[in-house]
Amino acid sequence: MTLSEPIEQINFEKGYIHIQMKEKRISFCQGKGSLTHNNRDFIAENVDRSRMRDNYTFIRKDIGCVYEHLFAESTKRYNAKQKRNDRKIHGTYYESLFHKKPSNSVVTAADKRKSFYEDVVQIGKKEDSGVDTEDAQLVAACLKEYMAGYQQRNSNFVVFNAVLHMDEATPHLHIDYIPVGHYKRGQDTQNGIAQALKEMGFGSGKDAIARWRKSEIEVLNQICLAHGIRPLEPEKSRGSMSVKEYKEARQEADKLKAENVQLKSENEGISRELTETKAMLERANKKKVQLVDIGSIAVKPTIFGNKVTLDKNDYDKLQALAEKEVVSVKRTRKLTAANQQLSKENTELKSTINQQAAELAKYKKPATISVKTLMKSAKETSEKERLRSDLQKAKSFISANGLTEEFHKYKSNTKNHELE
């Protein structure tokens, strides 16, 4: 045994006996209220059939018979006082409240009253007090002792069905009861949990049931301590859910918790973007001058709070300035658009000019070449004319001196040499 383990010290005159206490958590919550399940008229999947013989029934009575026993005489007394037939209760008290025959499941009336209530009581968990553990019988003994004094402690909660289940994961009690209250007006004895709690000394209001439950848990704590169990704080109630439904709900809750972490992270990013967007909108709204808003301002003769009353002339000036501002904004927009159009046209003109310059260059270059060619051609023509003139003079000289025949022979011999 370590120092961290819980112990109790019992003084026997001169010495001490150290007893190790087992820590177990108590569960005390509202049940779904199904008598067919509790009494095993219906056997769920989580029930071990081989252990059903270990279950213990404290009381089992028909709910219809119990209602008749509790409220029949009171109903007769109430009807006897009524002079009008339409105010009398016709049929049984149960049927007048719930408009149906007695049921083995909880039925809720129009005024929120339930046909019966159920509490599920458990000590420990499957890991430390399951039906397969050595402490199963220990917690079962504690639960039996607790149930033994239940009706005496709670005289206005009439228990008509109570069982100890030993055939599921962990030993636990199902306690089903009808709350009975007594009234000065109307029917003198009725199903009424608020009045029942008040008569048992737990006061009135929404906290009355919590005070009663705390009192019952304390009784169970004392029983546990007497059996060597140190009770831990009760777990939160699972409400009217079954064990299977509760487990599924817990799994779904864990899944949602993980998703919630991711959503929170995403939400922070969205919130930042939203804040930035709002700031931008606010800045934009401050710059806007809405003529329709200015025109809707009413001139008031007095001042209230933060409101300012303007003279009619001042107001007209303010509106005129606002109109000028709006016109100025519109004009600026038009000028901006016009400037953009001009820039576009200027760019197009520059492009056209460049194209025309390129075309012009094509014409300039050939013109320069043509002049040079003409000058060269003119020189060549002049030389040809001179040579032609000289040739004509030579022919005239040859003919005048009788050398024509000799010239032709010379010319013929020269041509033959060129061909060779």
pLDDT tens track for 314-353: 667 667 767 766 666 666 666 566 556 555 655 665 565 5
pLDDT band at 127 (very low <50, low <70, confident <90, very high): very high
pLDDT tens track for 191-241: 999 999 999 999 999 899 999 999 999 999 999 999 999 998 766 555 545
Non-local (6+) Cβ contacts of 140 within 8 A are: 56, 164, 166, 171
Distance, in Å, from the CA atom of 174 to the CA atom of 164, rounded to the nearest integer, reads 7
CA Rg, the chain, in Å?
57
Residue 115 to residues 2, 194, 386, Cα–Cα distance (Å): 51, 14, 146
Beta bridge partners of 132: none
C-beta of residue 125 within 8 angstroms of C-beta of residue 170: yes
Overall average pLDDT of the 93-110 stretch: 96
C-beta of residue 94 within 8 angstroms of C-beta of residue 115: yes
Beta bridge partners of 123: 26
Does 103 have pLDDT greater than 50?
yes
Distance, in Å, from the CA atom of 156 to the CA atom of 192, rounded to the nearest integer, reads 10
Task: Please state, for a pLDDT cut of 70, what percent of the chain lies above it.
Answer: 54
Distance, in Å, from the CA atom of 354 to the CA atom of 117, rounded to the nearest integer, reads 98
Residue 166, Cβ density class (10 Å: 0-12 exposed, 13-18 middle, ≥19 buried): buried
| CATH number of the structural domain 20-240 | 3.30.930
φ, ψ dihedrals at 27, nearest 5°: -120, 125
State the distance between the two ends of the chain, measured CA to CA, in whole angstroms.
Answer: 140
C-beta of residue 326 within 8 angstroms of C-beta of residue 287: no
* Count of CB atoms situated within 10 Å of the CB of 420: 4
Mean pLDDT (the chain) is 77
pLDDT tens track for 343-374: 565 566 556 556 655 655 554 444 444 555 55
Give the amino acid at 313: N
Residue 110, Cβ density class (10 Å: 0-12 exposed, 13-18 middle, ≥19 buried): exposed
- Which range, 115-119, 128-132, 245-249, is most confident? 115-119
Pairing of strands 22-30, 229-232: parallel
pLDDT tens track for 280-306: 556 555 555 444 455 555 555 555 555
3-state secondary structure of 197: helix
3-state secondary structure of 57: strand
Overall average pLDDT of the 87-104 stretch: 95
Altogether, the residues listed in the chain come to a count of 420
**Could you tell me the two tokens for 137?**
């019988």
C-beta of residue 68 within 8 angstroms of C-beta of residue 160: no
pLDDT of residue 356: 54
Which carries the bigger pLDDT value, residue 367 or residue 157? 157
Give the start-end residues of each E strand in 90-171.
Answer: 117-123, 157-165
Q: Among all chains, which residue has been given the structure tokens 């016109």? A: 327
User: Which of 105-109, 319-323, 362-366, 404-408 is least confident?
Assistant: 362-366
Does 407 have pLDDT greater than 90?
no
Distance, in Å, from the CA atom of 190 to the CA atom of 179, rounded to the nearest integer, reads 8
**Could you tell me the two tokens for 250?**
């817990």
Overall average pLDDT of the 101-115 stretch: 95
φ, ψ dihedrals at 11, nearest 5°: -85, 115
φ, ψ dihedrals at 402, nearest 5°: 70, 35
**Could you tell me the two tokens for 16?**
């001490």
